[in-house]
Structure 1
Amino acid sequence: MRRLRVRQELWLGVLGVLLAFGVCEAVSRAGLVRRSYLPPASEVLARAVELAGDSVFLDGIGVTLRAWALGLGLACAIAVPLGLLLGSVPLVGAATRTVVELLRPLPSVALIPLVSLLLGSGTETEVTLIAYASVWPILFNTVYGLGETDPLAKDTLRAFGFGRLTVLLRAELPATAPFIAAGIRISAAVALILAVATEILSGFGEGLGIFIAQAGLATDGTRDVLAGVVWAGALGLVINGLLVRAERRLFPWTPEHRETAAQGATR
Structure 2
Amino acid sequence: MDIDLTGKSALVTGSTGGIGYAVAKELAKLGAYVAVNGRTAERVDAAIAQLKEEVAGGQFIAGVGSVSSAEGVADLVAGLPKVDILINNAGIFEPKPFFEIEDGDWQRFFDVNVMSGVRLSRAYAPGMVERGWGRVVFIASESAINIPSEMVHYGMTKTAQLAVSRGLAETVGGSGVTVNSVLPGPTLTEGVADFLKSMGGAGADLEETGKSFIAENRPTSLIKRLARPEEVASMVAYLCTPAASATTGAALRVDGGVLRGIA
Q: Which has the higher helix share?
A: 1
Q: Which has the higher strand share?
A: 2
**Structure-2-length-normalised TM-score:** 0.27
**Structure-1-length-normalised TM-score:** 0.27
Higher relative contact order (CA 8 A, sep 6+): 1
